Every structure is written in C-alpha cells, then in structure tokens.
Amino acid sequence: MSWRAQGPTDERWQVSPRNADGTRRRVGPHLGRLQLTPTRVTLAIALIGSGAFLLYAITVRESSQIPMLSSGLGVLGIVFIALAVAGAVSTYRAGREGSGGRAFLHAILGGVAAVVAFACFAWAVILALVWRP
C-alpha cells in the first residue's frame, strides 16, 4: 500500500499557499515575524500571570504575604522550566536544520531560563522555611 492510499491527507504535510508573485505565503497567525503557537501563547500568559501575582504578593502587607510569595515563585519557576524545555527543543530543531547560530542562541536562552527557574525554586524553598504561622 502506497502512502497516498493510506487515507485522508494530513494538512501538516501540504505545501504552503503561494502569493500572486510565486513566493510562499505565511500560514497561521503572526505577531510581526513571530508565529503565534499555542505553546508560546500559553507560556506568555503564564509568565505574565505569575509575574502579576508576584507583584501583588509584594505589595500586600498581611500575614499571608510570605506564603503568597513562595507559591508565586514556585509557579514562576515552573514557567521558566517550561521555557527551558522549549529552548532545548528549539535548539534541537535548529541544529537539525543546520542553523548553528540560531541553535546556539536557543541554547543560551534556554540555559538562562533554567538558571532563573532554579533561583525561583530556591527562593520559594527559603521563604517556605522562614515563614512561621
């Protein structure tokens, strides 16, 4: 059985549509040159949300401030771990495509995200150990 006779066509393998002058057209939503993917949108919302929660926890002056800071830093650490994993995947993909410079940039940014994540986790643990109810 040939690959054509296996059933309905998978849209991921179709050729991108062309413009009137013959150049390929971009597919999917874009913000400038950046393509909006569900992963990027989810990570951006999580990063903004956890940052806003941390800012709120810093401004509040109650007995629950330290647990709020600790949980906010824990969530922010999880978001940065996800960014580090996304950087590792992007590094691998860029390396497979033969783009060494882009792979190096993704590796550096993913490594920075991992360091920030572990710093967030460290601060969350320190704050949890210091807090007394």
Q: Where are the domains of the chain?
A: 51-57+64-133
Position 124 pLDDT exceeds 80: yes
pLDDT digit string, tens, across residues 76-85: 999 999 999 9
Residue 31's DSSP bridge partners are 34
Q: Are 70 and 53 in contact (CB under 8 A)?
A: no
In the prediction, which pLDDT does 62 show?
86
pLDDT of residue 70 exceeding 70, the answer is yes
Distances (CA, A) of 34 to 29, 79, 96: 9, 20, 20
Q: CA-CA distance, 43 to 60, in Å (whole number)?
A: 26
High-pLDDT (> 70) share of the chain, %:
86
For residue 39, which of 79, 95, 99, 91 has the smallest C-alpha distance?
Answer: 79
* Nearest Cα to Cα of residue 117 among 56, 69, 76, 88: 76
Q: Are 68 and 60 in contact (CB under 8 A)?
A: yes
DSSP 3-state assignment of 2?
Answer: coil
For the chain, count helices (H), then strands (E).
3, 2
> Is the pLDDT assigned to residue 64 strictly greater than 90?
no
Q: How confident is the model at residue 105 (pLDDT cuts 50, 70, 90)?
A: very high
Amino acid of residue 52 = A
Query: Which range is most confident: 12-26, 54-68, 115-129?
Result: 115-129
For 63, half-sphere exposure in the C-beta direction (CA atoms, 13 angstrom radius) is 2
